[in-house]
Chains A and B, each alone.
Chain A
Amino acid sequence: MDDAVLMGVSLLGATVRLATPLVLAALGGLYAERAGVADIGLEGKMLAAAFAAAAVAWVTDSPWLGLGAAMAVGVALGLLHAFACVVAHGNQVVSGMAINILAAGLAPTLASAWFHQGGQTPLLPASARFQPLVLPLSETLKDVPILGPFYRDVVGGHNLLVYGAALAIPLTAWILAHSRFGLRLRAVGENPEAVDTAGIAVARLRFCAMTLCGACCGAAGAYLSIAHGGGFIRDMTAGKGFLALAALIFGRWRPWSMLAACLLFAFADALQIRLQGVALPGLGQIPVQFVQMLPYLLTVLLLAGFAGRAVAPRALGRPFVKDR
């Protein structure tokens, strides 16, 4: 019984930690794509931001400045993408891919030049990282069955960025559903001509969206290098930007469904980590390759069976050219 609780708590805690970078990056993608700008450059923005965060945190010994630098770099790349797509009417997929390639090459090159450790930053001391928070009363409550460990290790015990991501979801949901900015943003993604006719600048809204997208990706990158991890390593995003994009589509471009998709991916990953080398009752030990396949298998099954039809914002990927 105790073991099962411990296992469950450990599994859920890991789910939260693994989901955070996906949630942050997917939120970035949500703002961009709801405004009609397709963004496959989430990965690149995350990677560049992870590098900026680690580099600045190392030099200044402050995680906050690291986070600021990460978001600034994310925003800069977001605006670059916006310039290519909104002002220059460029192909959005090509621009996103270019940002991925740029970040994958530039970050290790700069790291090499600045830190002389060949493409990575020095490992960060504890003072330069966001540390896990211990919530008040968690020691007092830890003996309460189930709820005690749950409160301590699933609700609590994470760093600030995890809670930031958790707050960003309802905030985004509210912005998109109720605020004037959010409604206009969605309108721009569905029918930019109508927005333009109403006298609202399409380009400005899309630039705003890409700024928010960059900031979210920046936070996701900072999470990898200065909160969950402790330093930048070449290619450390390891496809998480693309996974976030998949979660965004799987979640049908809606904040809460997207959160569910991110949690599902993270849960499958946490589960596969814990199932490796464990003998299951009646089945014995399952080969590690099979266990590692589970998250992907689950994704395919769910996409095929339960996701329903994913309807993208109508103007997604289409540059808006004002008629004269």
Chain B
Amino acid sequence: MTTRFWAIAVAGLLALALPLAAAPPAGAAAAEIVPAVIFAVGQKFDKSFNEAAFTAAERFKADTGIGYLEFQPQAVAEFERGVAALVRRGATDIVAIGFYYATPLDRVAPRFPQTRFTLIDAVVDQPNVSSVVYKEQEGAFLIGMLAAMASKTGKLGFIGALDIPLLRKYIAGYEQGAQFAVPGASVLVNFVGTTPAAFNDPTTGAEVARGQFERGVDVVFAGAGSSNFGIFQQAADLGRLAIGVDSNQNYLHPGAILTSMLKRVDLAVLQAFTSGRDGSWRGGVHRLGLAEQGVDYAVDQYNAALITDAMRQRVEQARQDIIGGKITVADPSR
């Protein structure tokens, strides 16, 4: 008796759910794609990486009139549920921002073979996943050159959130570039913390920066998420220079931010959606470096006075040499 009751109940529920699952999402034509973004944990408006993805999605919306879905997980563990929810709402192209989504995406991608996934910052080997990774070391090389040329003490700093392989790529390029521009330049490397909370701890970030400044460092490359705000503040207070990361952060403290290393997440997101729409989307691994304009450094009205023409010339020369293969930037992750 009970078994039959449950069988009927489940069948009834399924029948109810079926049209829901099959129904096209509101506001999208049947043939159009439904893009979606899964942001990094609690980081949508970081004035950096995730915000760039947000901007790109907004631009895609403005250009094509196609709205997008989004999901902001509060923890990595919510990722799979988030993907399922997005697919249920009709998402066809999902971009996930953050290296820590690699493991859950590897599990969840085969469950939705019709969905095109694009993962930023990590590699997942599934036929329906396109992995976008950056040659951060190439951008960091140029940043290291600028930092070394701007430094008066020859002592440079790097402050990362925590010691992860991704940040090691920045460090390697930064050190190599600094020594390329100014032989003998030294780089002091510090980390804010040991857990992802280190991305949101400007108080400790500021103290770490101060520790470096007191040891003679006068240019600090800050790669610590929102902890960067503390580092910038300290540089501005003490009259030193800091360098922003991932998005253009020059405007935050004009005069105290030498430049920002750009990681064009916006291009990758835009590319994922446009290619999904015109059918040219391909899975596999895409590595974006200087040649692909995936990484760069920022010059605008806020830092133009800090970067001389001579500095720019040398850096532009190095850019050509890296693209042309005359300079090889070491990648510690390979």
Are A277 and B201 in contact (CB-based, < 8 A)?
Answer: no
| Contacts known (A224-B203, A228-B206); A238 close to B190, Cβ less than 8 A | no
**A21 adjacent to chain B (CB < 8 Å):** yes
How does the 8 Å CB contact mask read for A223-234 relative to B, with 1 for contact and 0 for none? Answer: 010001111011
B204 to A233, Cβ gap below 8 A? no
Kindly list chain B residues whose C-beta atoms are within 8 Å of the C-beta of A10.
210-211, 214-215
Q: Known A235-B42, A277-B189; judge A14-B200 contact (CB<8 A).
A: no
In the complex, which residues of chain B have a beta carbon less than 8 angstroms from the beta carbon of A235? 42, 197, 200
Complex Cα spacing A119 to B74, Å: 13
Please give, as numbers and ranges, the residues of chain A lying within 8 Å of B253 by CB-CB distance. Answer: 123
Residues of B contacting A123 in the complex (Cβ-Cβ under 8 angstroms): 229, 232-233, 252-253
Q: Are A229 and B229 in contact (CB under 8 A)?
A: yes
Q: Contacts A14-B207, A276-B190 given; indicate if A233 touches B45 (C-beta within 8 A).
A: no
Q: Assuming the A-B contacts A117-B45, A289-B163, are A233 and B202 also in contact, with contact meaning beta carbons closer than 8 angstroms in the complex?
A: yes
Given contacts A6-B214, A123-B229, A288-B191, contact A238 B203 (CB under 8 A): yes
Give the CA-CA distance A240 to B189 in the complex, in Å: 24
Within 8 A of A (CB), among B226-261: 226, 229-230, 232-233, 237, 252-253
Q: Is the CB of B200 within 8 A of A234?
A: yes
Name the interface residues of A219-258: CB closer than 8 Å to any CB of B. Answer: 224, 228-231, 233-236, 238-240
A238 pairs with B200, CB closer than 8 A: yes
CB distance from B230 to the nearest CB of A (A): 6
Name the interface size band of chain B: 20 to 34
Which residues from 169 to 191 on chain B have a C-beta closer than 8 Å to any C-beta of chain A?
A: 188-191
Given A235-B42, A276-B191, A292-B193, decide whether A230 and B208 contact each other with a Cβ distance below 8 A. Answer: no
Given the complex, which residues of B lie within 8 Å of A120, measured CB to CB?
45, 226
**A119→B215 CA distance, assembly (Å):** 34
- Among B197, B207, B232, B237, the one with the most A-chain Cβ atoms within 10 Å of its Cβ is B207
Residues of B within 8 A of A236 (CB): 200-203, 226
Interface of B is mostly: helix
Query: Residue-by-residue, is A111-155 near B (CB-CB < 8 Å gives 1, otherwise 0)?
Result: 010000111100100000000100000000000000000000000
Q: Which residues of B contact A270 (CB under 8 A)?
A: 207, 211
B44 within 8 A of A: yes
Using an 8 Å CB-CB cutoff, how does the interface string of B21-55 with A read, 1 for contact, 0 for none?
A: 00000000000000000000010110100010000
Residues of A within 8 A of B114 (CB): none
A274 to B208, CA, bound (A): 8
The complex places the Cα of A230 from the Cα of B256 at a distance, in Å, of: 15
Bound complex: CA of A132 vs CA of B51, how far in Å?
33
For the complex, give the distance between the alpha carbons of A224 and B200 in Å: 12
Q: CB of A200 within 8 A of chain B?
A: no
Whether B194 sits at the interface, judged by CB under 8 Å, is yes
The minimal Cβ–Cβ distance linking B256 to chain A, given in whole angstroms, is 11
Within 8 A of B (CB), among A7-65: 10, 14, 17-18, 21
Chain B CB within 8 A of A310 CB: no
| A233-B44 contact, Cβ under 8 Å, with A14-B211, A292-B193 | no
B214 and A273 contact, CB distance less than 8 A: no
Q: Is B206's CB under 8 angstroms from A229's CB?
A: yes
Cβ-defined partner of B204 (8 Å) among A117, A269, A276:
A269
Q: Which residue of A lies closest to B46 (CB)?
A: A118
B201-223: contact bitstring with A at CB < 8 Å (1 yes, 0 no)?
Answer: 11110111011001100000000
What is the minimal beta-carbon distance from A311 to any residue of chain B, in angstroms?
Answer: 32
Contacts of B198 in A (CB 8 A): 238
Closest residue to A296 on the B side, CB-wise? B194
Q: Could you tell me if A118 and B45 are in contact, using CB atoms closer than 8 angstroms? A: yes
Q: How far apart sit A106 and B6, CA to CA, in the bound complex (Å)?
A: 42
Q: A120-B45, A123-B233, A289-B163 are in contact. Are A273 and B208 (CB under 8 A)?
A: yes
Chain A CB within 10 Å — which of B194, B211, B215 has the most? B211
Partner of A292, one of B188, B194, B206: B194
Q: How far is the CA of A195 from the CA of B188 in the complex (A)?
A: 59
Known: A117-B45, A235-B197, A292-B193. A274 touches B203 (CB 8 A): no
Decide yes or no: A274 and B211 within 8 Å by CB, A120-B45, A236-B202, A236-B203 being known contacts. Answer: yes
* Given known A-B contacts A273-B207, A292-B191, A292-B194, A229 and B45 have beta carbons under 8 A apart: no
Instruction: Provide the residues of chain A in CB contact with B237, threshold 8 Å.
Output: 132
A132 to B194, CA, bound (A): 29
Return chain A residues, CB-CB under 8 Å to B206. Answer: 228-229
Establish whether residues B188 and A277, one from each chain, have CB atoms under 8 Å apart when the complex forms.
Answer: yes
Indicate if the CB atoms of B189 and A230 lie closer than 8 Å.
Answer: no
Q: In the docked arrangement, what's the CA distance between A239 and B196, Å?
A: 12
Chain A nearest CB, measured from B240 CB (Å): 15
Residues on the B chain within 8 Å of A277, using CB: 188-190
Given contacts A118-B44, A228-B206, contact A288 B163 (CB under 8 A): yes
> Which chain A positions have C-beta within 8 A of B201?
236, 238
A238 to chain B: closest CB distance in Å? 4
Residues of B within 8 A of A238 (CB): 193, 197-198, 200-201, 203-204
CB distance from A121 to the nearest CB of B (A): 10
Instruction: List the interface of chain A (C-beta within 8 A of B).
Output: 6, 10, 14, 17-18, 21, 112, 117-120, 123, 132, 224, 228-231, 233-236, 238-240, 269-270, 273-274, 276-277, 288-289, 292-293
Extra inter-chain contacts (6) besides given A234-B200, A292-B194, A293-B194, CB under 8 Å = A10-B215, A14-B210, A120-B45, A236-B226, A238-B203, A239-B197
List B residues at the A interface (Cβ < 8 Å).
42, 44-45, 47, 51, 163, 188-191, 193-194, 197-198, 200-204, 206-208, 210-211, 214-215, 226, 229-230, 232-233, 237, 252-253
Q: List 26 A-B contacts (CB under 8 A).
A: A10-B210, A10-B214, A17-B207, A21-B203, A119-B44, A123-B253, A228-B206, A229-B233, A230-B233, A231-B229, A233-B226, A234-B200, A234-B226, A235-B42, A236-B226, A238-B198, A238-B200, A239-B197, A273-B207, A273-B208, A273-B211, A276-B189, A276-B191, A289-B163, A292-B193, A292-B194
